[in-house]
Structure 1
């Protein structure tokens, strides 16, 4: 085989990408994704890990909280509510966005993406907050 011919085993997963992916989405999610990969989608998993997580989330120019807000807004704008739910949960549990900022993001989504999308986002948010047992009494407590 020619040395310039790409193979699925040539590059592997970048350590930075894998560390970032695990930090943001959690080991359980990553392990589940990787357990389900096949030779057909192995390149896709490497691409996501190396490019999305290793070269985007890992750049350090925007903090994970800022990236969470951006990601939720873009996913809502695209109507990708399954991914929106995952990233709402990430923002709540892993990047630690305050509830007041999460609510503000959803209000902002309503202005720019429309009321139907924001309604869906609030339905998802209420469900996730309930599932996670979040105490909403802290919502309007000023954050330092």
Structure 2
């Protein structure tokens, strides 16, 4: 089946989805930091994570946000966890959703991982509140 020439490329779609989730300011800052060292990696994640997985119709952005936050918490990816918590203002995942996800992390990935993630969530939400809800 021939691809519709009017449809965006996987990279363009990925950038659209990435901006809708993380916000233009974040994506612009991150894009400005790309160098020759990570250019191909950034293209890969834009096309695969954002242009394929996040763009899929299988889950809502809210659901993807919750799953992503739980996985990042379980893996101890603190900076990415905070970034995705901030992105919930764009995905519709609520603070209660995140608390429930982190409770699952406690059972399935361990109490220390969940405890640490709750600390990051509290600090992130405090920062968002102090900034008037801004990311």
Structure 1 runs, 4 residues or longer, greater than 3 Å off: none
Alpha-carbon distance in 2 for matches of 1:80, 1:110: 15
SS in 2 for 1:38: coil
**Unmatched 5+ stretches in structure 2:** 1-8, 131-135
The match for 1:72 is 69
Q: Deviations over 1:75-113 (max 9, x none)?
A: 11212122111112212x111212222211111111111
Aligned length: 122
- Report the RMSD for the aligned CA atoms in angstroms: 1.7
The match for 1:102 is 98
Alpha-carbon distance in 1 for matches of 2:61, 2:10: 21
- Per the normalisation by structure 1, the TM-score is 0.77
- Per the normalisation by structure 2, the TM-score is 0.82
**Is the CA contact (8 Å cut-off) linking 2:69 and 2:98 kept in structure 1?**
no
The match for 2:129 is 133
Alpha-carbon distance in 1 for matches of 2:76, 2:120: 13
Aligned counterparts, 1:5-44, within 5 A? 14-44=11-41
Please tell me whether Structure 1 or Structure 2 has the larger radius of gyration of its CA atoms.
1
